Structures are given as C-alpha cells and as structure tokens.
A and B are shown apart, each in its own frame.
Chain A
Amino acid sequence: MREITYAEAIREALRQEMKLDDKVFVFGEDVGAFGGCFGVTAGLYDEFGPDRVMDTPISEAAILGTALGAALMGMRPVPEIMFIDFMTVCMDYLTNQAPKTRYMCGGQVQKLPMVVRAPSGGWIRAAGQHSQSLEGWFTQVPGLKVVMPATPHDAKGLLTASLRDNNPILFIEHKVLYNEAGPVPEEEYVIPLGQAEVKKEGTDITLISYSFMLNKALSVAEQLAGQGISAEVVDLRTLNPLDHDTIAQSVQKTHKAVVVQEAVEMGGVAGQVVKSLMDSSFDYLDAPIKTVAAANTVIPFSPPLEDAMLPSEEKIVAAVNEIAG
C-alpha cells in the first residue's frame, strides 16, 4: 500500500471531506496560503479558496467561538489551534460552551459538528508552553469527544469519522508524528470513534498507550521479545469515549499491564485506564498495574533535561521488569 505521512494523511482526510461536503471549512492562525505552522493544511487554500480555508487574527477565543456559532447554524467548522498549549486562552469553548450546548438547552440543538484540531507533545525543544500533553483535562468534559491518533492510517480514518460526526470533537495530533510515514488507503474510510485497537498481539503483559507513546510501546515490545516476554500493545485511539472492553479483554488475557502516557502523571488518562481495569479486571491481575508518565514538573528547554523528564523506552522497560517476573 502507498505510504504517506501523518500530516499528509490528516490533510487528505480534510481534502476528501471538503470535496464531499461544502459545509466543511478550515480556519485558524496561518492555515491559509501559508499552509499551517506545521504544514498540515498546505495546498488547501489553493484548492478550495478563501471562503473554505481562512486565516484568522491571533484570537483563539474568536476562533472557537466562531466555530461554535457556525456549527450551531449547520456548518462544519474545522478550526486549528496552533499548539494545544494555546487552548488555555480559549478553554471556555471546549468546557463551558460547545460540550454543554445541547444539554443546557434541553436538546433544542440537533447537532453541533465542530472538529477542533490541535497538536500536542514534546521533543521539539520548545519548553513548557509549546510542548505539553493536556488531553487529560478535556476528558473531564462530558459531551466532548477526544481523539488522539498514533499512526497515519488511524489519523485519516479517525479524522474522517470526526468530520462526519455531529458532536464537538477535540482531535489532538502529535508534532513528532507529523513526518512519520505509514500505509494509508487512498480512498475515504472511517475508523469509528471510541474503539481502541490491539496494535500487536502478545500473551505475557499488556502495554496500553496512545499517540506518540504508542511508538515507544511498540519498540519496547520488540525489545521484550528478545528477553522472552510476549507483550501485547493496545492503542486507545479515542480517549473519550474510552474503550473499556478492549483494554479489559487484553489484560484478562495477559494478567499484567503497564499504561504509558506522555502527559504528567497527575490526573491523567493513565490513571483513568487503571481505574477502568480495577473495575473490570481486578480478579485477573497477577501484579499491580504500573504507569509511566512525564515527571510532575514543567517541561524544560534544555534537551537533556527534556529527554529525562518525558517518558522513555528505558522507563517503560523498567516498569515492565518490576512486574514481569
């Protein structure tokens, strides 16, 4: 199969849906002729013109407010927030506003289709205000779906599903993954939201992860194979709704689990996954579930410091070894 990058896969999903549905439009800071800070929307302006691909002033609140209003009127806005860290200045729209619109008006609104795209993650040497993984915050908002693909194939299929969904969605991309290539079908396809996937089968331990951390988990699984440990790797893909069944099935088979996230450990998705497994699979566990996450501190600029505070393959292996015996 043809290989394209994660960024190209996202662009292809946008382009195909924009062709199918003229209500879909893209806007945000530098997404027009410039093609986006990370080049994701490159070429869309030339193809669809200034009414479908719009640059905005540096006004994140206005970007998301405009998206909400347009979605209320039946359009399908796809705003881009340049870094997920910038979501802090427009948080209201993804907490108090869009996810509560239908509920608080008692169902008077029939759909609110807006897909907010934003990249997260570290390793780009940009320090504490451009490198965070803030997905955990957004999973605490009932009414907001949170999607976080790890591969080009999933990025295209999950974005296509998101663009066809009628709910407000936060679609979190990863900056390090943008240039990673993988096989992606040329035609349109949908990966249903809320379904995790077993990316590698195994029998001895389950590594549960998502987004860029999936790559590390898969790499660790290969290393473990050399030690005679057969690791199963599960990619959550969607964080809300969380696929409780897939992780339970895997852990009930392997009896051990390590959950890996890039975000700081406090209050994150990994803790929620552990909670889910305690509810579903406590009697199947042969060891405590371990988590690997970023240290509870600010992401420093200095590269050796950043590398040391974020999760690494060594830390994942160490966690596995604590319970693998």
Chain B
Amino acid sequence: MELSQEKLLEMYKKMVTVREFEQSLSEAVASGTLPGFVHLGIGQEAVHVGVAYALRATDWVTSTHRDHGMLIARGADIKRCRAEIFGKADGYCKGKGGSMHLAAFDKNAPGCNGILGPSQTINNGIALALKRRGEGDIAVVLFGDGAAHRGEFHEALNLASCWKLPSLAICVNNQYAISVCFDDACSIDDIAARASGYGMPGLVVDGNDVMAVYEAVTETVKSIREGKGPALLELKTRRYKGHFEGDPQSYKTPEEIAEEMKHDPIPIFAKQLLEQEITTEEDLNAIEEEVQKELQEAIEFTDQSPYPSLEEIYTDLTYEERRAV
C-alpha cells in the first residue's frame, strides 16, 4: 500500500465513524426519536472512504440520498451532520434539508439529492465551471444502480463526453433499487459496460474493498485531470439495511443476507491492515473507542441544539439581487 500508515488509519477511522454514525441513526429511528425517511449506507463505507481519499479537497462531490457517509468521509463535521438529520438549527442546512438533502458546501459537497438523476446532470455544470477555471479539479457524482436507469444517466454521460468534461460518474451498485433487484431491472451484468457507448473508459471495482476503490479512483482521476475526458466507474457493493429504516428487506433471502455479511468492508480492511502489519488490534480498538467518543459528542451537540425558529420558514428562499454593473 502506497499510502502512509497515518493516512490508512485515518481511512479506517472514517469507515468506522460512518458505520457508527449511521448505526446510531438506525437506533434513533427504531426508538421513535428520528422522524422522516432515513436511508442508510451501512455496508457501503468502503465506497465513501475510498472515493473521498482519492480526491483533492478542491474537487467537488455530489451524491445520492444514501450518502451521509460520503459527506463524512469528505470531512464534514459529524456534529452538524447529525444535527441536520434531526432537523436542528445547528445542522448544515439549519434543519431544512434533513437526511435526504444533507449538504456541506464547506467541503465542496453539494451533497444528497432527493430525486434520482439530476445530480448526474448538475455534476456536468460543476465540471464545466471547473474546466473553465483550468486548475485541474474534477467533479464527481455518485448515484445508485437505480438512478443508472434514469434518462439523465444517458443525457449526462453523453454531454460530458461530447464536451470532454472533467467529470467522474460513479455508480454505486448495491444490487437493489428499493425492492427490485438489479438483474430484474437491467439486461446486462455491469453498468460500467455502458461506458463504451459514450466513448469513455468504464471499470468495475469491488466496492467493499476500500483500497481497490481508492486505487481505481486514483488511477481514473489522473487521466481525467489530464484532460482526457470523463469516465464511469461501477463500485459493486451491498447495503446491509433496508432501502429506508423500517424496510424489512423481505425481497432478500436469509441466505443472501448471510452471504452479504461475509463481505463487510470494515473487517476486510482491518484484516488487510493487520496482515500487512500496518497496525495492531490494540490500535484498531483505540480508534473505535475514539469514534465512540466523538459520536457521543455529536449526539450531545444535537440534543442541545434547538429547533430552528419559525422565521426560518421564510428565509433562504431567494438571493440578494445583483447590484447594477
């Protein structure tokens, strides 16, 4: 592994942070303290962390309604993320976006989108602006296998390719669009195979192996930064929770779930780190304790944050008019 020990352990910590952060949301939904639709990405942490660590801070990342993890991996403050998800005033979006619309512009992360598809075309606009700036930054969009079947997938990739935009489309294929399995919704094995139809490289990667994700994104991004045009990556993964919290996943067999659990990205990464003698069990345990402490702080921060004032219903709707030229 070419990354430093420090970086690798940071990645491990981020994966554990995402997992524990979302696990605590799951518990809050179950206990009735968290309202609304909550879509968790537990099981997909290698995707978020692998992608985030292969990018520059000046790149942009747009993601799906299941991407708390992407923002956290990108460095967003978990206190403000949690406060947002609970609709509190100190949340990233002052509580007006919630779980499905979490956004951290301080991390160049316009964040989650409640509608499947538009983030792919919006990413083109971000990429166009970055191309004009000419600083080698790129725009990355993550979307699910479900959103790969929206017309916007086609419109976005075709235009990105025509205009040679510095954009990377990442399909996070967790095999289920709510209850419909990938094989019932798609007549080919890999979304990445569609890349050839747009004259761009397409690559399938094991989305549960954080180092495989990191390396694939790093390699692909290099060519995009060189101006060779956009690319499509498909990260194959699984979500361990239902589409939304409360979904009993009746569409999966117990055998399938048991098989999924064998490929948990966090133990996989821990094993790699231990086998290559990058760290010790004790260090990993210490990281996990540290995460629990930080999570506890985020929970307290959220509990203490007030709900937004009623005036917030009407604020942030329009922008200041531009002064005359």
> Chain B, 163-189, contact with A by CB distance < 8 Å: what is the 0/1 string?
100000000000000000000000000
Partner among A51, A102, A164, A167 whose Cβ is within 8 Å of the Cβ of B325: A164
Flag if A105 contacts B111 (CB, 8 Å).
yes
Interfacial residues of chain A within 131-186, with CB under 8 A of chain B in the complex:
142-143, 145, 164-167
**Which B residues are closer than 8 A to A by beta carbons?**
91-97, 101, 103-106, 110-111, 113-115, 117-118, 120-130, 132, 139, 151-152, 155-156, 158-159, 162-163, 315-322, 324-325
**CB atoms of B93 and A64 under 8 A apart:** no
Q: Is the CB of B155 within 8 A of A166?
A: no
Contacting residue for B159 out of A57, A104, A110, CB 8 A: A57
Counting CB contacts under 8 A, is A97 at the interface? Answer: yes
**Contacts from A to B (Cβ < 8 Å):** 17, 20-21, 51, 54, 56-57, 59, 61-62, 64-75, 77, 92-93, 96-97, 102-113, 142-143, 145, 164-167, 188, 190
Which residue in A65, A67, A106, A164 is a CB contact (below 8 Å) of B97? A106
Q: Could you tell me the distance between the alpha carbons of A51 and B124 in the complex, rounded to whole angstroms?
A: 15
Are B317 and A103 within 8 A (Cβ)? yes
Q: Given contacts A97-B122, A104-B97, list 18 more A-B pairs with CB under 8 A.
A: A59-B159, A61-B151, A65-B155, A68-B118, A68-B121, A70-B126, A70-B128, A71-B125, A75-B128, A102-B319, A104-B93, A104-B96, A104-B103, A105-B103, A106-B91, A108-B92, A110-B319, A167-B321
The residue of chain B having its C-beta at the shortest distance from the C-beta of A93 within the complex is B118
State in angstroms the CA–CA spacing of A65 and B129 once bound together. Answer: 13
What's the Cα separation between A57 and B156 when bound, in Å?
10
B322 engages A73 (CB within 8 Å): no
Q: Which of B93, B106, B114, B315 contacts A96 (CB 8 A)?
A: B114
Bound Cα distance from A71 to B125, whole angstroms: 8
CB-contact partner of A59 in B93, B104, B111, B158, under 8 A? B158
Bound: A41/B163 CA distance, A: 21
Contact A69 B159 (CB under 8 A): no
A66/B125 contact (C-beta < 8 A), A102-B319, A106-B316, A166-B319 known:
yes
- Most B C-beta atoms less than 10 A away, residue of A59, A62, A96: A62
| Cα of A36 to Cα of B97 in the assembled complex, Å | 38
Q: Is the CB of B96 within 8 A of A106?
A: yes
Q: Is there contact, CB below 8 Å, between A105 and B122?
A: no
Task: Check if B322 sits within 8 Å of A102, measured CB to CB.
Answer: no
- With contacts A92-B115, A105-B105, A143-B317 taken as known, whether A69 is within 8 angstroms of B122 at the C-beta atoms is yes
**Which A residues lie within 8 Å of B321 (CB)?**
164-167
CA A246 to CA B75, docked complex, whole Å:
51
Contact partner, A69, options B91, B93, B129, B315, Cβ 8 Å: B129
**Which of B93, B103, B128 has the largest number of chain A CB atoms within 10 A?**
B128
Contact A65-B318, Cβ < 8 Å, known A56-B159, A105-B92, A105-B110? no
When A66-B159, A68-B122, A143-B317 are in contact, do A61 and B324 touch as well, CB less than 8 Å? no
From residue A243, how far is it (CB to closest CB) to chain B in Å?
A: 16
Would you mind naming 20 contact pairs between A and B with Cβ atoms under 8 Å apart?
A17-B325, A57-B159, A62-B156, A65-B156, A68-B118, A69-B124, A69-B125, A69-B126, A96-B114, A97-B118, A97-B122, A106-B91, A106-B96, A107-B315, A107-B316, A145-B318, A164-B322, A165-B321, A167-B321, A190-B324
